[in-house]
Structure formats: structure tokens, C-alpha cells
Amino acid sequence: MLNYIKSEIYRIWHSRSFYAFGGILCGIILLLHIALIIGAAIEPDFRYNTFRFSLNNLTAQPMIMVILGVIVAGTLFNEDRKSGVLKTTVAYGISRESILIGKCIVSLLASLFLLIVVLVFYLACAYFTMKEPEWQPIRQMLLAIAASLPSAIASLIFGNVIFMLCRKDITGVLWWGLIFYVIPMACFFIGLKFEPFEHISGWMPYNLLNMGVNVSMNTYNCIWNTTGGMLQCIAAGAIGCIIFLIWGVLRLRRLEL
Amino acid sequence: MDIYAAQSRNLTKYYHNFCALNKVNISIKRGEIYGLVGDNGAGKTTFLKLLSGQIFPGGGELSLFGKHTQADLKNARSRIGVLIEEAGFYPSLTVEQNLEYYRLQKGVPGKQTVAETLEMTGLSEFRKKSCRELSFGMKQRLGLAIALLGVPEFLLLDEPINGLDPSGILEMRNLLLKLNHEKNITILLSSHILSELEQIATVYGFLQKGRLLEEISAESLYKKCADYVEIRVADPQTYTVLLEQKLKHTHYQILPEGKVHILQADLPTEAYSALASDAQIAVLSLSHCHQSLEDYYMNLKNGGTTTC
């Protein structure tokens, strides 16, 4: 497995798609700030060109991290099956389980690297272009990232499994949407009528990170601001990681290529 | 050390209800160049995929270098090189980067291995080229280069000369012969181009509709197919009856347009024409021919095992 990890790190280091993805993320951040600067230049009473508003864009929508998880998996590994690389790797005696675990480790390392680079760029952009830099929005944003990171890793693992299983990217994306959006939403609405579903839906990342977060210009009513809430976010993500990893190993063990 | 690089016993594979391989017994000795012959859908690629672990058997047993448990097979696969269907590589990386990727993956020591493999497969001048820009023939070469990384003990090649130009075919043939002779690499290759296979294979396996029709060495095949007489007569049915009764010849084949192929024809050509003229059957043509692998395969495929 170590050889597989080494080869994947080499590939990612030399492929453009990973850097392009990082570049796109930084580009979006830059565009957001440019839009805010232009807004302030056009409208004298514009009150959104603040450090707080800039950072709150991420703090208010931690599901972005979960979405980014599957995009990273897709960016790094969607070619493996289509290009026939997976077949060759298996033919060299590397087990499907080792490939999956190797992919998860490599994509996690790549994601964390990307997260650090993009986060530093985000903070620098906000600090140098926005008004009233302050500590509280930074703290809240970091807490949002910490709370959503386990679920983002679960999404990354799910993405790695699904892109190995599906020949078409779109099928993988639809499965991801079903598991991370449709089912949690359905459970939430069913839970309004049937109590057991309410408990189950309360542990699903979409419901935790969407319903449990209310951010405005002045207030942060967020689930991660209580110890219990933060632990629930971390536990939900960790459970997701374990479930998707076990499911992936079992499902891929008999995958014919 | 086991004398076989690969062996299958009653190997069976189903794709849903379709039987792709039906109790196939194939034995490939170390150092052999084994030519797998068969039409599309005969089960050649399925057999290669089973050997390489890309798919799983539905029944029977498979061994590589004498190992047959799942764990041992995985280890044994690190000693093989594979090119099945299209070569697997990343289009966005260069030729050299793709080879380096696989070198790291296979744990082959020494960075110079990549340069050596590029040189061996004639890809040196394309090493900095993106794989997306390669022609089909070049992609096949890259596939072979990937398979050859680290000098495997056993090469599995599925239609390796597909898409190669005539000089590429010649180079590929010479390379495979060189690897076999100098490094004693066992090679299993399938090809539709039987004339090409005929020039390098030392053993043949003929597959049809998932069944192994025959496994035969090139030497035995050559003896079996050495010569035959082609006689075109007005009444082939009567002629073949006479052939069996008077000359005790059961090795023949009736073809369209009154042609009869007399296989293993050990009598002088005149004896066969005299047989027809004595029975007042008009002889339209008579020639002494050599049977090719293609003829042999066609004969075998059409149920002619007893006639050749």
C-alpha cells in the first residue's frame, strides 16, 4: 500500500487538475472580495465590505466543506476507472482494499494541504481588502471548519468509493446527492411526523450543519458553540467515515474491472 | 520452483447467464510463448483478466507460479506484466511521468529503469509528450512499456500489435523474442493476426465459445500441418468415400467448389489423382500445399479435429 500511496502522491504532484482546482477556489474567493469592493465603491451605504461578512460566507454554510470533499475525490480520482489505470494497478497485485485505503489517505492529505492554502488565502484576502478585521469571525470560521471536517472526510471517502464503482461521473454525483442531501432532507420531513426519524435525521451532516447554524452580521447561533453540539458534529462525521469505509471495502472486494 | 508460470483447472466464468469460459484447463510452462487463438467472444480476454485478477472466476482453480490461494496470487501478480485491452495510463501526464508513476507503484528500484524501458520500447523521443497526444500505436507501445517495467517474469498481452504499423509489428515481435530468449520471460499473448502469432508462439491454445478446443506445441502443430494435397474433383462425396476405403485416409476435409483437402498426405500426388481417374471422377485441379495456422484453426473450429 505504501508504494501505491507514493505513486499517487507523485501523480497528484505532477497533474494540473489538482492545482487548477486550488486555483479555482482561490479565484472564487478573489471574485467575492472584488465584488464586495466594487459594491462599496458604487453604493455609499454599502455595509457588506467587512471582514466579518466576508468570513461569514463560509461560517454560515459549512456544508460547502462537505461538497468540497466529494469534489476533491472526483478531481483526484475520477479518471482512474475510465483510463484503465485501476485495472493495471489491480493486475500488479495491489488489492482493491489497499487501493481504496490508499486513495483515502492520499486524498485526505491533499485536501488538508489544499484547505490550509485556500484558508490562508481567504484570510489574507479578507484582511487586506475588507474593513474592520476582528477575531470573532475567524474563531467562528475555524470552529465551523472543525465541526464540518469529519463530515467532509466522510464525503471524501464516499466519493472515493463511488468513483471507483461508477463508470460515469454523473452517476457518482447523483448517488452522492441522494446520500448527503435527499435522504437527510427526507428523514427531516418524515421526522416531523414520526419521532424515531427525527432522532436519526438529527445525526445526519446535512441537518446538523444546515439546521443547526444561524449566522447573521451580529449573532452566531451555531451548533458548534456548545460542547455537546461540537461533539455531535464530530461524532456524526466519524460515524459516516466508518460506515462508508466499511461499505467501500465490502463493495469493492468483489468489484470486477 | 514450479515449472508452470500459470495453470488453470476447470476454470469457469459466467457474465450473468453468458458462459465466457467453460471448464478451461490451460498450462503455461515457464519460458514458453503461449499463443491464445480464438474469435471475438471466445474467452481470450476473459482468461487474461482472470489471470491478472481483474475479474473473479465462477468456478475452477487458477495458479500463478504454483500459487493458488488468494493471498499468494496477489503476491504472484507483482511478478507479472499486463497489457489487456487498452493500455491504462493518465492522459494528462507525460509518457515518462506515467512510467514513473507505475515504477513507484510496483516498487521497482532505480530511476534509470524508466529510461531503460523507454529505450527498449522505442519511446525515448516521446518521453516528454503528453499521453493525450499519442497515436494509437504509441499508446500500445506505452502499454507494453508499462507491462515491461521491472522486467516481469510473466507477460500477459492481449492483442499487443493492434494499431501498430508494419515496422512497429516487426519491432514488437523482435522485442518479445529477445525478452523470451535473453531473460526467459514467459509470454502469454492473444492475437487475431494468426500469421503474426505463428512467427513467435511456441505453444498454442485454441479457444472457441469459452471452451479450450486444443492445446498444442508449435512443433507438433507443424508436424500435423506439414503438408496437404488439395484436389478439386467433380464428385467430392464419392471421392472421399474412395479415399477412406481404398487409401485408408480419414484425415481430409471437404470444402466448397468440389475441393477436398487431404491432410497428412504421405502418398505421391499422383496416387490421389489416380484414385479419381480410376473411378472416372473428373479431376479439375491438383496441388500440394502447406497448411497455415489460420487453416488449422479454421479446420479445428469447424469441428475438424479428427480430420487433421
In a domain, B304, yes or no: no
Helix axes A63-77, A96-129, angle to 10 degrees: 130
pLDDT digits (tens, 9 = 90+) for B124-149: 888 899 888 888 888 888 998 999 99
Residue B124 forms part of a structural domain: yes
Q: Are residues B162 and B267 in the same domain?
A: no
Alpha-carbon distance of B247 to B225, in angstroms, equals: 19
Whether residues B186 and B258 fall in one domain? no
- Nearest partner of A153 among A40, A58, A244, judged by Cα: A244
Whether the CB of B178 is below 8 Å from some CB of chain A: the reply is: no
Give yes or no: residues B242 and B133 share one domain. Answer: no
pLDDT per residue as tens digits for the range B196-217: 888 889 999 989 888 988 888 8
Q: Are residues B109 and B36 in the same domain?
A: yes
Length of chain B measured in residues: 308
User: Per residue in B267-279, is it b (16+ CB within 10 Å) or e — as a string?
Assistant: eeeeebbebbeee
Instruction: Tell me the residue range of the domain where B199 lies.
Output: 4-217
Specify the pLDDT at position A221.
87
DSSP label of B139: H
Whether residue B172 has pLDDT greater than 90 = no
Residue of A nearest to B92 (CA): A15
Residue B223 has pLDDT above 90, yes or no: no
- Does the distance separating the beta carbons of A86 and B146 come in below 8 Å? no
Domain boundary among B174, B195, B217: B217
CA B146 to chain A, closest CA, distance in angstroms equals 9
Contacts of A91 in chain B (CB under 8 A): 52-54, 77, 80, 82, 84, 156
Chain A contacts in chain B segment 88-107 (CB below 8 A): 88-93, 97, 100-102, 104-107
End position of a domain, from candidates B170, B187, B217: B217
Indicate the pLDDT class of residue A174, thresholds 50, 70 and 90.
very high
Distance CA A219, CA B195 (A): 80
Which of A49-63, A223-237, B86-100, B253-267 shows the lowest per-residue confidence on average (mean pLDDT)?
Answer: B253-267
Specify if B71 maps to a domain. Answer: yes
> Number of residue pairs across A and B with CB atoms under 8 Å?
90
CATH number, domain at B265? 3.30.70.100
- Enter the C-alpha cell of residue B269: 500426388
Task: Decide if pLDDT at B80 tops 80.
Answer: yes
Statement to judge: residues B22 and B116 lie in one domain: yes
Domain count for chain B: 2
Mean pLDDT, chain B, integer: 86
Residue-level pLDDT at B1: 66
**Interface residues from chain A to B (CB-CB < 8 Å):** 3-4, 6-7, 10-11, 14-17, 79, 83-95, 254, 256-257
Across all residues in chain A, what is the average pLDDT? 91
pLDDT for residue B303:
66
Task: Evaluate whether residue B298 is within a structural domain.
Answer: no
Which residues pair with residue B230 across a beta bridge? Answer: B261, B287
More confident residue, B171 or A21: A21
Q: Looking at the structure, tell me whether residues B28 and B171 fall in a common domain.
A: yes
Q: Is A91's CB within 8 Å of B54's CB?
A: yes
pLDDT of residue B219: 80
Tens-place pLDDT, residues B282-291: 888 888 777 7
CB B180 within 8 A of CB B187: yes
Same domain, B203 and B233: no
CATH number of the domain where residue B72 is located: 3.40.50.300
Q: Which residue has the higher pLDDT, A101 or A81?
A: A101
Q: Which of B198, B217, B236 is the last residue of a domain?
A: B217
If asked whether residues B146 and B246 sit together in one domain, one would say no
Residue B236 inside a domain? The answer is: yes
Measured in degrees and rounded to the nearest 5, phi and psi for residue A107 equal -70, -30
Mean pLDDT for B18-42 is: 90
Higher pLDDT, B247 or B304: B247
How far A24 CA sits from the closest chain B CA (Å)?
Answer: 18
* pLDDT tens sequence across A195-222: 888 888 888 888 888 888 888 888 888 8
Alpha carbons A46 and A43: distance in angstroms, whole number = 5
Q: Which of A117, A7, A4 is nearest to B93 (CA)?
A: A7
Percent of chain B with pLDDT over 90: 29
How many residues comprise chain A? 257
The bridge status of strand B4-15 relative to strand B59-64 is antiparallel
Predicted TM-score (pTM) of the model is 0.81
Whether residue B176 is found in the same domain as residue B52:
yes
ipTM score of the complex? 0.86
Considering chain B, what percentage of its residues have pLDDT values greater than 70? Answer: 97
Q: Is 70 exceeded by the pLDDT of residue B305?
A: no
Residues B273 and B176 occupy one common structural domain = no
| B133 and B252 housed in the same domain | no
Are B120 and B238 found together in one domain?
A: no
